[in-house]
A and B are shown apart, each in its own frame.
Chain A
């Protein structure tokens, strides 16, 4: 039936109910388990095959050689599109997805995250 003001009941009813807004940042919603946030890496398992570098759509991941058969993973969070293709391409389980998504930075240099190879103590740890 056509009449003006069909939304009247819904509008008046909503005025008494709790609003549907989530007051971020005081209250944060939990992300589902499969959510693709920041990529984490365990550089000790990396064998340097560079399949992840080949498949990354935006050239965000780099594998650096830091010693004899030892590699470390460097991810540029600004270039990464969080597609997790690198995690699928890696055969050794080095890369994994975390649900972290609040990654904004004021300093562009802080986007380059290096996951040091936790192994021999003579390597200097680099600041993420």
Chain B
């Protein structure tokens, strides 16, 4: 019981995730700056930002319902933290696992997006309403490719449990190379989920000021930012667990370092996409996803079906 509490609250739970989230945000911002030939922030910048936001007043507009306004950032943070307990960090065993936890993790990762939409809807400001509708439109576009790519990898492993997927791939080394298309689709969809460029349409600064977060300030905004950071770690860990499952049987310390390297690799890929692409328009994004990315995802699924039929029977 005590072990479970320590696992959930300290490592690899609440404190570790928040610290790693702040570190990953720093890596993202520093690499983004370096790709643009600038210096970038010092290592304590994300922590300083969160502390500064906690020190500021949280202004709630008069006509807004205060309970929902205050509750939504906490729901976002809570659901992204909860999704992490099913993801294997090192070795092939997560904290808790059961058959079907892949679906649970994906649904828990959708809840923050819904809270962004509700936050924008309850803010009653035209910019927030626009940002909120864009968040949902984007969700409908990237959700199908994300699900299909992750489920195609699970399909090859013939199980719906993340720990067993990791166990399958470490028993068959080299099979993860079949899922590379899925990996790229997964990175693309993660860009959409985290609202990072080129898919930062709901938060486009030059169009809708700050989208759903326009009216948020102070500690409520800090919780939203922490939620996005933790979501980045959880999403990157999910991609690392499903698509890059090598080196899992190397023992705790080496395995943990491998895990950190894999997550930071995904984060640097996200930062590189931020640097080299312009922001696309929402109608172009929906077109792109449904005409190009979703068929690629289905192609990956069909490929995995063929491989499963020929190699594994």
Which residues does A use to contact B, with CB under 8 Å?
4-8, 11-12, 14-15, 17, 19-21, 23
Least CB separation from A9: chain B residue: B276
Q: Is the CB of B38 within 8 A of A19?
A: yes
Q: Report if B39 contacts A (CB, 8 A).
A: yes
Q: Is the CB of B277 within 8 A of A20?
A: no
B40 contact set on A, CB distance < 8 A: 19
Contact bitstring B190-211, A, C-beta under 8 A = 1, else 0:
0000000000000000000000
A68 to B158 CA separation, bound complex (whole angstroms):
104
Q: Is the CB of A14 within 8 A of B34?
A: yes
Taking a contact as CB atoms closer than 8 A, the residue among A5, A7, A15 that contacts B34 in the complex is A15
Known: A5-B276, A11-B272; 19 extra A-B contacts, CB below 8 A, are: A4-B277, A6-B276, A7-B275, A7-B276, A8-B272, A8-B276, A11-B36, A11-B276, A12-B35, A12-B272, A14-B35, A17-B37, A19-B33, A19-B34, A19-B39, A19-B40, A20-B37, A21-B38, A21-B39
B239 contact set on A, CB distance < 8 A: none
Q: How far is the CB of A5 from chain B (nearest CB, A)?
A: 5
- Size category, B interface: 10 to 19
Q: Report if B31 contacts A (CB, 8 A).
A: yes
Taking a contact as CB atoms closer than 8 A, the residue among A4, A11, A21 that contacts B275 in the complex is A11
A-B contact pairs, 30 of them (CB 8 A): A4-B277, A5-B276, A5-B277, A6-B276, A7-B275, A7-B276, A8-B272, A8-B276, A11-B35, A11-B36, A11-B272, A11-B276, A12-B272, A14-B34, A14-B35, A14-B36, A14-B37, A15-B31, A15-B34, A15-B35, A17-B37, A19-B33, A19-B34, A19-B37, A19-B38, A19-B39, A19-B40, A20-B38, A21-B38, A21-B39
A6 contact set on B, CB distance < 8 A: 276
Which parts of B254-300 form the interface with A (CB within 8 Å)? 272, 275-277
Least CB separation from A19: chain B residue: B39
Q: Is the CB of A23 within 8 A of B35?
A: no
A12 to B276 CA separation, bound complex (whole angstroms):
10
A4 contact set on B, CB distance < 8 A: 277
A5 contact set on B, CB distance < 8 A: 276-277
Least CB separation from A16: chain B residue: B34
